Amino acid sequence: MPKKNENYVALIGDLVASRALTPKERAEVQKRFKAVLEKINKDFKSEITSLFLITAGDETQGILKRPDCCYEILRQIQIDLAPTEIVFGLGFGTLTTDIGEYAIGADGPAFHLARQALNEAKEERKVYGKSILREVRLLSDMSLLNTVVDALFLAVSVLKSHWTDKQTKVLNLLEQRKSPSEIAQLLKIPGSNISRTIENSQYREYEFLVNSLESVFKNSIKFNINNKLSEK
């Protein structure tokens, strides 16, 4: 059973426009999706409470121990799934069901919030189209956390939306901790191109936003714990 009053992060991801694919294309995407999740479960095992799995063919769900690692995990899923897009809903809250090896059948406020967050993110994409291609939304019982995190998530999405395909290839490798010299060798481009790409894409600003997200998450955990202790 989950610990009483213990908060977890429920994460639900939904592939974008997967039903518009041909049966052959969809089968290939789902095969890649399964391989990506298996890699995530292995690489981030210490951060995961219940492993990720595919549900309903187009969705995945998992449970994380804490929120400050969630962007790194969902970003890795995005990179490995590209060019297929995926939208995420995050719910920060408690669970009411037993914690199993996989997140199938898990329920509670965290999952209700994650589902609501996912639906809101998808609806926002429909309303605003390409002007706001939101990739992630978070919901918790802390309104200030929701507001700050969603603003940061949106700013990150807006910055990334302006990256060209060539810039994205370079920056994705940079996010995977490849050095500029390694990237230049892998992509067979001059090293000077890497520096120019970082500058022109506002990658340093992107890094600042991601670091701010992690900082907000870490401080929200401390605030939540201290708040609960003061209530006892």
The second-level CATH assignment, the architecture, of 8-143 is: 2-Layer Sandwich (3.30)
Residue-level pLDDT at 20: 78
pLDDT one-digit tens code per residue, 24-65: 888 888 899 999 999 999 999 999 999 999 987 789 999 999
Residue 143 has which token pair?
Answer: 């309104």
Sheet holding 86-93, edge to edge: 48-55, 59-64, 8-15, 86-93, 136-140
Q: How confident is the model at residue 86 (pLDDT cuts 50, 70, 90)?
A: very high
Amino acid identity, position 160: K
The CA distance from 156 to 132, in Å, is 11
Helices and strands (DSSP H and E) totals, the chain? 8, 5
Question: Which of 227 and 24 is assigned the larger pLDDT?
Answer: 24
Residue-level pLDDT at 18: 80
pTM: predicted TM-score of the whole model, two decimal places: 0.87
Residue-level pLDDT at 67: 86
Region of residue 97 (phi > 0: left; psi between -120 and 50: alpha; otherwise: beta):
beta
Average pLDDT (102-122) is 93
Domain ranges of the chain: 8-143
Query: Could you give phi then psi for residue 16, rounded to 5 degrees?
Result: -85, 130
Q: Virtual CA dihedral for 185, 191, 197, 198, nearest 10 degrees?
A: 100
